[in-house]
Amino acid sequence: MPDFETLAADPHWLPHRVDPASGRLEFLHLTREALSQTGFLADRTGETQAVPLAQIARSAIAPGPVHFIFHTAFCRSTLLVRALECPGVCAGLSEPRVLASLAGAGQGAQPLVGPVVDLLARPWAQGEAVFVKPTNHSNRLIPALMDAAPQSKAIVMTNPLPSFLAAVIRKGMMGRRWARQLFLEVMGYAGIDLGMDGREQFAMTDLQAAGLAWFLNQRYFDAIARQYGERVRVLDGDRFDAARERTLVAVGDFTGVAIDKAK
């Protein structure tokens, strides 16, 4: 079984899952071509290796420039990170499972945030930067991720409430269920006193819950933008869709990555 230093030296071994019960970090082997495929990295399968958490040493990792795309879901963040998968310039990591795994592991996993960010930041080719788009279900980790990579920039993607609700409706019953779960999730780390007891909250319609989840996300992202100032830019997903080339150039200017819109 490879040791941590061997896996850390090769960016093709992507950190995939934290297992607190067994005390291990699982790595998944990916080719560069796999990054361009549709779908999320969280859903990929293949050869895996695991190392004890006690072996993980941040000093053994050589990260490159890394930037983040945080989002509220249904706002074309996947389209953006796929556009930023540009060999020779930058790599785009769409929803690596390890970040959701860290978010679900609780406070005990906080010491792993720094090493995991460094592992995700390893350049896939010389001179490349890395753009990481976590799942929105790991948004509670945003401050920890930003603090772990002090030179990183963050693009915070969202969209207007009507666009968000329309996407929930298009997803049918499972979209409505997802919206209720999102409301409960965001209330857990960015909640406010809504003036409603548990019974009243339970009686909300699906779209009322979805609307409140959207609102809580907007408040949370506003707080993130205020906290990190010039390291953060807010991007409307609808406006991105209407001006894709212009947006990519702006992303490059903001992050210092030489993005050629012609490619």
**241-259: per-residue pLDDT in tens?**
999 999 999 999 999 998 8
* pLDDT score for 107: 74
When pLDDT is cut at 50, 70 and 90, the band that residue 263 belongs to is low
Average pLDDT of the residues in 237-244: 93
Q: What is the pTM of this model?
A: 0.94
- Using CA atoms, how far apart are residues 258 and 32, in angstroms rounded to an integer? 20
Ranges assigned E (strand) in the chain: 13-19, 24-29, 48-52, 66-71, 90-94, 129-133, 154-158, 232-236
* pLDDT score for 168: 97
Average pLDDT of the residues in 160-174: 96
pLDDT exceeds cutoff 70 at 261 = no
Question: How many percent of the chain have pLDDT more than 70?
Answer: 98
* pLDDT score for 170: 96
